């Protein structure tokens, strides 16, 4: 076979649009597997609705409706009460990949890449050939409707049937038809995703209409909007050499390295520059940052790591909050006991600040029930309030939770009704893929999650230990009282004394010396009676239902 020269080979060289790339690699956006693909569609639209409402200071009311129209074919309709999408931006918002209001902002937010909604438009077009239909309005009689497609070869929107509507409608309604998807009630289905969304966004109310027509409402737990996150600067701790060089070479106003550091990074002051000079006086802080070399940046990074820094400014990160998590867990899971922890801000590579919140919920509707009655623990993963249902094995949260010795906390994740809640909040969540379903396994993040979960687990450990102590003590009391009757009978045989009277005296004597045991036994007995009555009622209801 004759050799081919470079000119012949490179005749086939072509440029491709980012939309065309994702069309051929849709699994990277989360469109892999029928159940996951449907959840991805709902996730992208609901996330956009939440972000829009919060930007406009509006308590979110979101409705999601899924209707089956054929085998593995559904329509998905998502409606919100947000500020709407300006008509001039509707095409770019829904049909231009890597276009949006978020990627360029160094601020905490749910979505980051500007891919989600456009990816859904592309997925609808790929599987059904149909456009996504949108209706949006500002509430001031400026509503419109349109049909949106995407030109994947050029990554450009195609907007058809754009019609103005004389309606006082505020918000956005998006409807798309999708094939090669499937709805099912499972731990990784749409219902579970919306349930967890309500859990991590207690200020939101969600109404969900399933394909069978059943309406499910996740009621708002908190009547207060979360605080808005503020744009922030990267923290010097965690910066890599390459990060520092990119910031320095793109600097616009700083003529000296010293002023560049103070202006660009958080917690940097002239006093910190003086400390850095003391650590390494060979660094030229009068140098133009645009002239910084790799060796210069390496030298500066080493100096930065040798001095103490104040933790990142927490105002740039808005976690859910201990009180809100407590209310949401009570509203959704109604656990027997829970322990909630919020850690102080930390940083990971690139100087990016993050905060970990954790909770361990025990009993109630916590955990996961399989095969009708088998109970096991569950890990509820969140990033910036967004539920992460898939790719659990590749997630830093899962690795951190699994690495804990749970026996030390009297917890068995394989057999107890326990839910481990973890939310990572950051201006830049390091997802392991563009599908945004798993947090990358950064060492700093794994360690911080582990510490937060262990802190929450200690509270549950004390509760379980106390519960077991009560059970043991009440059992000891009941055992002692069982022997009272035998002792009274023996005394009657020996002395001829009245058996019933002797039994009463022995019971009073035990109760006098161990009053707490008597109370524990009575409480345990009442608890058991309530449980028996509840089970009896459930069985009766099942019998009536079967009849």
User: Hey, what's the torsion of the CAs at 211, 217, 223, 226, to 10 degrees?
Assistant: -40
Residue 314 has pLDDT above 90, yes or no: no
For the record, the structure tokens of 223 come out as 């009547």
**pLDDT (average), residues 23-39:** 75
> 18-218: what fold?
Heat Shock Protein 90 (3.30.565)
Residue 108: predicted pLDDT? 61
pTM: 0.73
List Cα–Cα distances, 376 to 329, 411, 418, in angstroms: 18, 11, 7
Say whether pLDDT at 287 is over 70.
yes
Identity of the highest mean pLDDT range in 41-45, 226-230, 433-437 = 41-45
Residue 528 has pLDDT above 60, yes or no: no
The model's confidence at residue 536, banded by pLDDT at 50, 70 and 90, is: low
Q: Say what the pLDDT of residue 507 is.
A: 75
Given this model, what pLDDT does residue 167 score?
83
Share of the chain above pLDDT 90, in %: 48
- The architecture of the domain spanning 314-458 is 2-Layer Sandwich (3.30)
pLDDT at residue 340 greater than cutoff 60:
yes
For the chain, what are the domain ranges? 18-218, 241-304, 314-458, 465-546
Dist. CA 474–CA 496, nearest whole Å: 32
Mean pLDDT of the chain: 83
Distances (CA, A) of 67 to 177, 213, 272: 9, 8, 60
Q: Which of 85-94, 102-111, 408-417 has the lowest mean pLDDT?
A: 102-111
Which pLDDT tens digit goes with each residue over 472-489?
566 666 666 677 777 777
Name the more confident of 18 and 155: 155
Please tell me whether residue 490 adopts helix, strand or coil conformation.
helix
**Confidence at residue 516, expressed as pLDDT on a 0 to 100 scale:** 60
For residue 234, the model assigns a pLDDT of 81
143 against 29, higher pLDDT? 143
Does 96 score more than 70 pLDDT?
yes
For residue 378, count other CB atoms closer than 10 A to its CB.
20
Task: Identify the pLDDT of residue 469.
Answer: 58
């Amino acid at each position: 076979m004759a050799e081919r020269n470079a000119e012949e080979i490179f005749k086939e060289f072509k440029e491709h649009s980012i939309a065309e790339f994702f069309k051929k690699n849709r699994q990277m956006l989360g469109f892999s597997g029928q159940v996951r693909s449907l959840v991805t569609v709902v996730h992208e639209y609901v996330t956009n609705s939440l972000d829009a409402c919060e930007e406009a200071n509006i308590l979110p009311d979101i409705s999601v409706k899924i209707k089956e129209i054929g085998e593995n074919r559904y329509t998905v309709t998502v409606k919100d009460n947000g500020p709407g999408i300006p008509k001039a931006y509707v095409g770019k918002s829904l049909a231009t990949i890597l276009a949006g209001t978020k990627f360029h902002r160094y601020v905490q937010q749910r979505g980051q890449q500007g891919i989600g909604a456009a990816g859904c438009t592309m997925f609808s077009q790929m599987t059904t050939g149909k456009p996504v239909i949108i209706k949006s309005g500002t509430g001031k009689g400026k509503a419109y409707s349109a049909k949106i497609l995407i030109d994947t070869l050029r990554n450009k929107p195609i907007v058809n049937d754009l019609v103005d509507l004389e309606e006082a409608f505020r918000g956005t309604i998006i409807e798309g038809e999708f094939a090669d998807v499937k709805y099912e009630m499972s731990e990784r289905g749409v219902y579970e995703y919306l349930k967890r969304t309500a859990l991590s966004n207690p200020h939101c109310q969600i109404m969900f209409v399933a394909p069978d027509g059943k309406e499910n409402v996740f009621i708002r737990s908190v009547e207060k909007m979360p605080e808005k996150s503020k744009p922030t600067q990267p923290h010097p701790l965690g910066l890599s050499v390459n990060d520092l060089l990119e910031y320095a070479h793109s600097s616009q106003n700083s003529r000296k390295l010293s002023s560049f550091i103070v202006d660009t990074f958080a917690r940097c002051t002239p006093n910190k520059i003086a400390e850095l000079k003391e650590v390494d006086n060979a660094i030229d802080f009068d140098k133009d940052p645009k002239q910084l070399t790799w060796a210069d940046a390496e030298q500066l990074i080493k100096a930065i790591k040798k001095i103490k820094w104040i933790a990142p400014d927490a105002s740039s990160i808005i976690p859910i909050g201990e009180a809100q998590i407590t209310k949401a867990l009570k509203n959704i899971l109604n656990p027997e006991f829970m322990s909630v922890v919020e850690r102080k801000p930390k940083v990971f590579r690139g100087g990016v600040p993050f905060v970990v919140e954790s909770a361990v919920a025990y009993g109630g509707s916590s955990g996961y029930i399989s095969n009708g009655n088998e109970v096991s623990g569950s890990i509820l993963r969140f990033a910036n309030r967004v539920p992460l249902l898939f790719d659990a094995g590749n997630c830093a949260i899962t690795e951190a939770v699994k690495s804990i010795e749970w026996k030390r906390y009297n917890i068995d994740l394989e057999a107890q009704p326990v839910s481990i809640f973890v939310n990572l909040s950051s201006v830049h969540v390091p997802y392991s893929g563009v599908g945004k379903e798993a947090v990358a396994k950064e060492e700093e993040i794994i360690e911080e999650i582990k510490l937060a979960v262990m802190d929450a687990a200690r509270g549950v450990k004390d509760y379980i230990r106390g519960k077991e102590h009560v059970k043991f003590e009440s059992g000891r009391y009941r055992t002692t009282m069982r022997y009272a009757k035998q002792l009274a009978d023996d005394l009657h045989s020996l002395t001829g004394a009245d058996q019933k009277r002797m039994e009463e005296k022995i019971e009073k004597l035990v109760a006098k010396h161990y009053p707490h045991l008597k109370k524990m036994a009575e409480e345990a007995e009442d608890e058991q009676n309530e449980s028996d009555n509840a089970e009896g009622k459930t069985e009766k209801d099942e019998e009536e239902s079967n009849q």
